[in-house]
Amino acid sequence: MGATTEPASGARVRGTIRYWAAAKSEAGLAEEPYEAATLAEALAAARARHADRPKLVQLLGHCSYLVDGAQVGGRDHATVALTEGGTVEVLPPFAGG
């Protein structure tokens, strides 16, 4: 099984969250590790880690997400399984689109 294999139900995996544009600025860093089973869990942990950065916490509610290069779109973040060694890209809204 490679990095694109979904974990067993509820299995926590490790990967990287990458912040882009305004999210990067508000986070004060370009990337950080996650240990979570789902996108919702990874984002909840990021919000908790950055509780002292309320603009980032608010911005995360408006961002688009890519998980291992695939758009999450309108899917419930609790149903988006993360993969071992995977990447979550945090894309804030961009002007004009």
Domains and CATH numbers, the chain: 12-89 (3.10.20.30)
Has residue 8 got a pLDDT over 90? no
Band of pLDDT at residue 94, cut at 50, 70 and 90: confident
CA distances to 29, 49, 50 from 34, rounded to whole Å, are 14, 11, 13
pLDDT band for 2, please (50, 70, 90 cuts): very low
Hey, what are 64's tokens? 């688009």
Torsion of CA 23, 56, 87, 72, to 10 degrees: -90
pLDDT in tens, 20-64: 999 999 999 999 999 999 999 999 999 999 999 999 999 999 999
User: For the whole prediction, is pTM greater than 0.75?
Assistant: yes
